[in-house]
Chain A
């Protein structure tokens, strides 16, 4: 080995040692979310608009029931770069199956399988859960769109207490009786796996107890070797194994068929869910919008017309599951259980805070400003393939009735203070 090779080995060895050292120095902390911030802003802001999300209760015991509920507005301005929601499923984003899902209803219709959703449609979902794995879990509602992937909704923390060993998930059968989905069919499955595996290993073992390779290869290469290796006892055993195999298959099939006389195939239908639509006395049009990158703000100018009979005040702008509120929003729509890390209670500012009077049309300058734009990585919009934004604007009348408008429009980045 020459000096050059020794040097190369030293370099490789040093790199290996350095890697090992760094691995030991940096302690990996447990993941606390699901990478929802890594989803591109246009995907989060212009597909599913999540609102009224509730994690209830936030502390559950193993076997106790909990609820994940809320509403979702399918944006009219759905991005061209994302497959349309022709086959969708409202899912639960969780670290493994920490809850089991007992039922899922969307606008009152059970959603066991995926189905189409309508652009501009509004859907209320109620997902009933049962605590399974103890821990402190980050739970999201999630809209899975075939061809586009899952779109994560807002994430909230739910605690499950107790012991997993106590968990049961009873399911009532149509023909009577109840079984536990945690253990159903387990014994039969393991029995047959052990039986067939044992037979398979016995078959291989039958040939392992005799010379296997080198000797047989040498014999086979000679004249008459094939005939010599054709041992009559192997043929007898092969017939026996064939007989036993077919007999066991028949026994397994017919006893199971006898045990479960009523069966149905897997169900592959799709739910027909009727959409509802947002109601508002306001009509809104985006006249201009920019996002102030250093100021961490999305500024928009809206033309707003009130065609109702009562004055309305804007109180909230929500997009990508992140809420920006002002005093009106806090007074009317503050859910104290909503995760503080995705809500800015003083994040919405207006130049003119006067209400929009009945019949009035005016320009409204809305400024949603908070470090959440940066923390939630929505300022990465500049890297999006389409420079547009979307979201929901919520307004209230004096009686506390809510009016919701879905808005969308082109947006211009502002990179420096001077330009802004």
Chain B
């Protein structure tokens, strides 16, 4: 017995063998150079503009803003990308693709810009990772097959798991030390000891919020707040994915009237074949893109 349903799926696609082969080539060309690089480049820029400093510097990784801002910003692109991959292909890797793509961009920046060009040690500019949260989000969508349940449960876990995941990477930097009679965390000292001309100390946005209750458990209050906002943001970005992910084509009818067809996937299907008189379900042979646009309806 086969591990996957691949054979059944290929059969149901009604593509001839050469079509199947071609589709795999399209997979390779479309996925890596276009989808992956496109997502990593744009998401990286988007993230750096909205939450960059909290991610660049170890002395920005506080209990309030870092924990609040990062998941909210990091859930945006996954919302739209998940819509696209799930709605059109039922592929549950939109979040992981976005977040790993973001990390590829981050690490290129860390190595080339921060370490090689600006000479900061890598640990000082180590980025956070939300791959764990992305896996939770993707698995939730696959298992529930509902974007609303994913927004409620998956995104909640996406944000809540942020701090515990990062603690393994950055816990060491919270160790106390005394310099000139002042108590500092190691992260504070690293921010002080590595001179940053363009980013003076006062630019840090840390520990200035009002999310302080329940006996000082600031992290979890911030994480809860971040989770709720992330849910809302996710649904908005899912709808943005819906808005920009629309595809349609124009068909010229018998009377010469152009009409918009939203279901581009109908081309080559049984329904299309029945409507256009091609009983084997294969799309009519087209001579040019213009022929498709002017096809019968």
Contact = CB atoms under 8 A, between A and B. Distances in A.
Which secondary structure dominates where chain A touches chain B? Answer: mixed
A1 interface: no
B8 interface: yes
Interface in A210-234: 210-222, 225-226, 228-231, 233-234
Interface stretch (B24-32, B43-51, B252-260): B24-32
A214 B26 contact: yes
B263 to A, nearest CB: 7
Contacts of B170: 185, 189
Contact of B12 (A146, A201, A222): A222
Band of interface residues on A: 35 or more
B62 interface: yes
A235 to B, nearest CB: 6
Name the residue in A112, A173, A199 with the highest tally of chain B Cβ atoms < 10 Å from its Cβ. Answer: A112
Interface string B129-160: 10110111011001101000000000000000
B97 to A, nearest CB: 6
Interface in A120-173: 132-133, 142, 144, 146, 150, 169, 171-173
Contacts, number: 332
Contacts of A239: 139, 143
Given A183-B121, A220-B89, A215 B263 contact: no
B27 A211 contact: yes
A302 to B, nearest CB: 35
Contact of A184 (B123, B176, B192, B270): B123
Interface stretch (A248-256, A305-313, A351-359): A248-256
A242 B168 contact: no
B27 A207 contact: no
A226 to B, nearest CB: 7
B200 A150 contact: yes
B185 A267 contact: yes
Contacts of A400: none
Which secondary structure dominates where chain B touches chain A? Answer: helix
Nearest to A104: B192
A231 B12 contact: no
Contacts of B89: 212-213, 216-217, 220
B206 A268 contact: yes
Interface stretch (B13-21, B233-241, B288-296): B13-21
Contact of B119 (A97, A169, A245, A263): A97
A344 B234 CA distance: 63
A248 B54 CA distance: 24
A102 interface: yes
Closest 5 CB pairs of A and B: A252-B168, A144-B200, A221-B265, A263-B174, A256-B171
Interface in B1-17: 3-6, 8-10, 12-15
Name the residue in A104, A150, A197, A239 with the highest tally of chain B Cβ atoms < 10 Å from its Cβ. Answer: A197
Nearest to A253: B164
A199 B193 contact: no
B172 A260 contact: yes
Interface string B261-278: 001011011100000000
Given A238-B139, A263-B185, A265-B62, A200 B99 contact: yes
Contacts of A181: 121, 123-124, 186, 189-190, 193-194
Contacts of A183: 121, 123
Name the residue in A102, A234, A245 with the highest tally of chain B Cβ atoms < 10 Å from its Cβ. Answer: A245
Contact of B173 (A92, A185, A204, A230): A185
B200 A213 contact: no
B112 interface: no
Contacts of B179: 103, 110, 112
B174 A110 contact: no
B9 A229 contact: yes
Nearest to B171: A256
A112 B135 contact: no
Nearest to B2: A233
Nearest to A128: B180
B200 A200 contact: no
B169 interface: yes
B206 A219 contact: no
Contacts of A185: 123, 126, 169-170, 172-173
B187 interface: yes
A403 B19 CA distance: 90
Contact of A225 (B12, B23, B185): B12
A189 B132 contact: no
Given A94-B195, A112-B182, A259-B171, A267 B188 contact: yes
A231 B131 contact: no
Nearest to A265: B63
B269 to A, nearest CB: 5
B280 interface: no
B20 A228 contact: no
Contacts of B3: 233
B12 A228 contact: yes
Interface string A88-106: 1101111011111111110
A48 to B, nearest CB: 14
